[in-house]
Amino acid sequence: MQTVNFISNLAMPLMILIIVIYGVLEKVKIFDNFLEGAKEGIKITMSIFPTLIGLFVAIGALRSSGILDLIINFVTPLLNVVNFPKEIMPLAMLRPISGSSSIAIATDIMKNYGVDSQIGIIASTIMGSTETTLYTIAIYTSCIKVKKIRFVLGVALLADVIGIVTSVAVCRIMS
């Protein structure tokens, strides 16, 4: 374990050293290239910033409005019929929208039900088998100025639904 920690602590400084040595050997202006990359990174950050603010405000409004609880209470009878745990629904609903919100919900599930409980295992599997779809699409499309995303959005959300349903089914089968 100490060897792994040693290698982990050395990884980033070693990578930087390798890049600098390569740049010196190839006679590349390392610092100038770094500054150009930093400028480009700031431009990209500024171009996606409005999208991020919009997403964060929408997620905050969704979580604080109580609409999630309303939706969960509405679909609970259907969830009971298909043997889908209602405790997972907040995670299933927010995972495609926000990574930080879904991590907070998954952490809350782990605290309440335990990491080794079936609910905890399902939550972990959902976190690993789905993506923050709306966030990812918003960032990528805003960078390249794409406006029409209906096909990408539909297929990506379908993939998330399949990932969530499969996570529940596999965890039920394996337990």
Burial class (CB in 10 A: 0-12, 13-18, 19+), 91: buried
Structure tokens at 30: 């390392």
Instruction: Give tens-digit pLDDT for 114-172.
Output: 999 999 999 999 999 998 888 788 878 877 878 788 788 889 899 999 999 999 999 99
Instruction: Give tens-digit pLDDT for 45-93.
Output: 888 788 778 877 877 787 788 888 888 889 989 988 888 998 999 999 9
CA dihedral 59, 62, 68, 74 (to 10 degrees): -130
Spell out a b/e string for 132-159, using b for 16 or more CB atoms within 10 Å of the CB, else e.
bbbbebbbebbeeeeeeeeeebeebeee
